[in-house]
Structure 1
Amino acid sequence: MNKKIKLKAVLVILVVSVLFLSACSSTPTNGANAAGEEQVYTLKLASAIGDWTNLFVGAEDFKRAVEERSEGRIKVELFPDAQLGDEREILESLQTGNIELAYASTITFNSFDERIMFLDLPYLFEDYDEAEKAMDGTIGDAARDVMIDKGVRPLAFGHGEFRWINSRNKPISVPSDMKGTQFRVPLSNILVKYYTSMGVNAVTMGNSEVYTALQQGVVDGYDNGAELVLLQKFYENTKYSTMTNHNYYPMTVSVSEKVWNTLPEDLQSILESEAQNAMEAERQAFKNAVPDNIQKLKDNGIEIIELSEAEKEQWRQAAQPLYDQIADVVGEELYQLVLEEKENDFSK
Structure 2
Amino acid sequence: MQRRLMIQTTAALALSAGLAVPALAQETTLRLVSAFAENGIYAQRLQEWVKKVNAEGKGVLQINFIGGPKAIPTFEVGNAVKTGVVDMAMSTGAFYTNVMPEADFLKLTEVPIAQQRKNGAFDAINKVWNEKANMQYLGRMVENQPFHIYTNKKVDKPDLSGQKIRITPVYRDFFQALGANVVTTAPGEVYTALERGVVDGYGWPIGGIFDLNWQEKTKYRIDPGFYDAEVSLIMNLPAYRRLTPAQRDFLNKQVLALEAQNDFWEKYKAEETARQEKAGIQAIKFDAAASKAFRDKAYEVAWAGAEKQSPEVAKRFKPLFAPAAK
TM-score (ref. length: structure 1): 0.78
- Equivalent positions of 1:249-328 (< 5 A) are 249-281=229-261, 283-319=262-298, 320-328=300-308
Residue of structure 2 equivalent to 1:41: 28
In structure 1, what is the Cα distance between the partners aligned to 2:323 and 2:59?
A: 46
Q: 1:118-166 deviations in whole A, cap 9, x for unaligned?
A: 3345xx63xxxx3445543333332222222212212111215311110
Residue of structure 1 equivalent to 2:218: 238
Work out the CA distance in 2 between the residues paired with 1:173 and 1:242.
10
Are 1:91 and 2:78 counterparts? Answer: yes
SS where residue 166 of structure 1 aligns? strand
Identify which of 61, 70, 85 aligns with 1:74: 61
Between stretches 302-311 and 207-216, larger displacement belongs to 302-311
SS at match of 2:276: helix
- In structure 1, what is the Cα distance between the partners aligned to 2:290 and 2:113? 26
Equivalent in the alignment of 1:142: 124
Q: 1:333 to 1:209 in 2, by over 3 A?
A: closer
Unmatched segments (≥5 aa) in structure 1: 1-29
Pair 1:196–1:235, CA change in 2 (3 A): same
Alignment partner of 2:150 out of 166, 178, 184 = 166
Deviation string 1:211-230 (CA, Å, 9 cap, x unpaired) is 11100001111001232211
Question: What SS is found at the alignment partner of 1:248?
Answer: coil
Percent identity between the two aligned chains: 17
Confirm or deny: 8 A CA contact 1:54 1:285 kept in the other structure: no
SS of 2:322's equivalent? Answer: helix
Residue of structure 2 aligned with 1:199, choices 179, 183, 202: 179
Q: Which runs of 5+ in 2 are unaligned?
A: 1-18
Gap change, CA 1:277 and 1:297, over 3 Å in 2: same
Q: How many residues are treated as equivalent by the alignment? A: 304
**Counterpart code for 1:44:** R
Alignment-derived partner of residue 23 in structure 1: none
State yes or no: 1:215 paired with 2:198. Answer: no
Q: Which amino acid aligns with 2:244?
A: P
Find the aligned partners of 1:167 and 1:341 in 2 and give their Cα distance. 29
Q: In the alignment, is the contact (CA less than 8 A) between 1:156 and 1:253 conserved in 2?
A: yes
Question: Which SS does the other structure have where 1:76 is aligned?
Answer: strand
Q: Following TM superposition, by how much is the alpha carbon of 1:318 offset from its aligned partner in structure 2, in angstroms?
A: 3.0
Equivalent residue number for residue 152 of structure 1: 135
When normalised by structure 2's length, the TM-score is 0.83
Q: Secondary structure at the match of 2:230?
A: strand
> 3-state DSSP class of the match of 1:146?
helix
Task: Give the aligned partner of residue 16 of structure 2.
Answer: none
Q: Which residue of 1 aligns with 2:208?
A: 228
Larger radius of gyration: 1
CA gap 1:80/1:334 in 2 versus in 1, 3 angstroms: same
TM-superposed CA distance for 1:31, in Å, is 6.1
Query: 1:309-331 CA distances to partner (integer Å, 9 max, x unpaired)?
Result: 22212213433254344323222
Deviating above 6 A after TM superposition, structure 1's stretches of 4 or more consecutive aligned residues are: none
Say which SS state the counterpart of residue 78 (structure 1) adopts: strand
Is the Cα contact below 8 Å between 1:84 and 1:90 reproduced in 2?
Answer: no
Once residues 54 and 313 of structure 1 are traced to their aligned partners in structure 2, the CA distance between those partners, rounded to angstroms, is: 30
Counterpart contact for 2:166–2:185, Cα < 8 Å: yes
Question: 1:100–1:255: 8 Å Cα contact kept in structure 2?
Answer: yes
Cα pair 1:173 1:311 within 8 Å, conserved:
no
